[in-house]
Structure formats: C-alpha cells, structure tokens
C-alpha cells in the first residue's frame, strides 16, 4: 500500500457541505504516512467549528476500512492554518461550474479590511454586476450574492 493509493481512496470522500469537491483537493487531507503498523492520516480543519469535520473523520475511517486498512490514526494539524489558497485550480473550476463563485487569491492583509469585496463575478453569467446580500450564507464559509444581470442569487466561497 502506498501513500498515493491511500490518497486516491480518500479522493472518493466529498465534503458534505460542498459535495462537488473531495477532501484531498480541498486541502483537508494534508498527508499520509506509515508508522509501525499504523496508517496516519493528517488532516486540517477548514474552519475550527466546521460541523463537516466530524463526518469527514468518520468517513476516512470507514473508507479505509472498506479497503481493509484497519489501523488508522487521524491527526489534526492546525499549522499552517488552512486557507482558500490551498484549493487546487481544478477545485476552483469545479466550484465555478457548480454555481459557487470560487475564492480569489488572497492579497496580503486583505483580511484586516472591514468590508467584504463587493465585486464578485457571477458564476452563471460571468457578469460583475453583483451585490453582497449577506456575509454568511447556507454555511459559514460562503456569502450570499445577487447577480443583477441574470437576476439570480448565488453563493461565493469566501477567502480566508
């Protein structure tokens, strides 16, 4: 069993709140290593209180068990803190096609700004005539925007 194989198995697990992305391309799975007879999977939370993390941990154990990998240890690592920049380019494209405006690349110190960026491109019609409606949407990690060009609401995966 190699690290690549395990990562491939884990790629079948999707984020329950953003089902279009798997936990490897999200950057949640940080590494796989072997220690004596243990398989150590190191993960990092996207948000400290993300309710999906518990489900994801259970699914990692269950998925590997199906492949007859029994001795699995999960390690949570906080540093370096997860950022939306850890989403792969493919992941961002998938989000866009799914109807969620992907996070933009983080410009240094932008986090300290008091207002959210107003100009987010609509994932449906690519118009920039969009307005922030709520800083929090169906989940903490997304904001709700409205596109005035195609007259429909959409979500934006916020940069953190």
Partner 1 sequence: MGNSALDLLGQSSAFYKFAAEIEQQNHTEDDFIYFRDEMHYKNIKLVELPKGDFAFTIARQFFFSQYSILFFELMQKSSNTTIAGISSKALKEVTYHLRHSKQWMLRLGDGTEESHLRLQNAVNELWNFTGEMFYTDATENLLTENKIIPPLDLIQSLWKEQIEDCFSAATILLPHNGFQHSGGRIGKHTEHLGYLLSELQILARSYPDAKW
Interface positions with partner 1 (CB under 8 A): 45, 47-51, 54, 76-83, 111-116, 135-136, 140, 158, 160
CB of 135 to partner 1, least distance (A): 6
Which residue's CB is nearer to partner 1, number 2 or number 48?
A: 48
Name, in order, each residue with C-beta under 8 angstroms of 62's C-beta and a sequence gap of 6 or more.
none
Which residue's CB is nearer to partner 1, number 1 or number 135?
A: 135
Which residue's CB is nearer to partner 1, number 88 or number 134?
A: 134
Name, in order, each residue with C-beta under 8 angstroms of 108's C-beta and a sequence gap of 6 or more.
none
Which residue's CB is nearer to partner 1, number 12 or number 47?
A: 47
CB of 139 to partner 1, least distance (A): 8
CB of 12 to partner 1, least distance (A): 24
CA–CA dist 149, 87 (Å, integer):
28
CB of 15 to partner 1, least distance (A): 16
Cβ 103 vs Cβ 92: under 8 Å: yes
> Is residue 122 classed as helix, strand or coil in its secondary structure?
coil
Cβ 133 vs Cβ 145: under 8 Å: yes
Cβ 96 vs Cβ 46: under 8 Å: no
């Amino acid at each position: 069993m190699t690290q690549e194989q395990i990562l491939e198995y884990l790629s079948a697990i999707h984020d329950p709140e953003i089902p279009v992305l798997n936990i490897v391309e999200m950057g949640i799975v940080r590494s796989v290593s072997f220690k004596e007879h243990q398989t150590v999977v190191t993960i990092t939370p996207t948000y400290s209180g993300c309710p999906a993390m518990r489900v994801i941990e259970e699914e990692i154990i269950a998925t590997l068990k199906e492949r007859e990998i029994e001795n699995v240890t999960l390690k949570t690592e906080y540093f370096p803190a997860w950022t939306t920049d850890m989403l792969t380019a493919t992941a961002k494209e998938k989000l866009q096609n799914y109807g969620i405006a992907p996070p933009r690349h983080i410009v240094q110190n932008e986090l300290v700004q008091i207002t959210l960026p107003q100009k987010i491109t609509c994932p449906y019609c690519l118009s920039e005539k969009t307005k922030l409606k709520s800083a929090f949407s169906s989940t903490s990690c997304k904001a709700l925007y409205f596109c005035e060009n195609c007259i429909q609401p959409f979500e934006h995966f916020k940069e953190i």
